[in-house]
Amino acid sequence: MPGISGKVLCEEIYRTHSGTGIILMTAMNGLSTQVVMAGVPVAGILLKPFHHAELLAKVREAVEE
């Protein structure tokens, strides 16, 4: 995303809408994502490529929280 990192975007969403469940979609491997996103509350992380069933499951989890 030009001009803003995913981490900064997630932090801003959480700061302004703390009840919003954030699902991060990334092509970075799981460990790298965890290191970069450390301390940022996300409802789930999807590693690209993913199947629509995985997305649906993560959305259900986020909504239920």
Using pLDDT thresholds of 50, 70 and 90, give the confidence band for residue 57.
very high
Contact indicator for 52, 25 with CB cutoff of 8 Å: no
Token pair belonging to 22: 């954030």
Cis peptide before 49 (omega within 30 of 0): yes
pLDDT of 60: 94
C-beta atoms surrounding 58 within 10 Å: 20
Give the span between the Cα atoms of 28 and 45, in whole angstroms.
11
CATH superfamily of 6-64: Response regulator (3.40.50.2300)
Give Cα 40 distance to the centre of its chain.
Answer: 9
pLDDT of 28: 77
pLDDT tens for 11-55 read: 899 899 988 888 888 887 766 566 567 777 788 888 899 999 999
Give me the residue spans of the domains in the chain. Answer: 6-64
Q: Does residue 56 or residue 6 have the better pLDDT?
A: 56
- The predicted model scores a pTM of 0.72
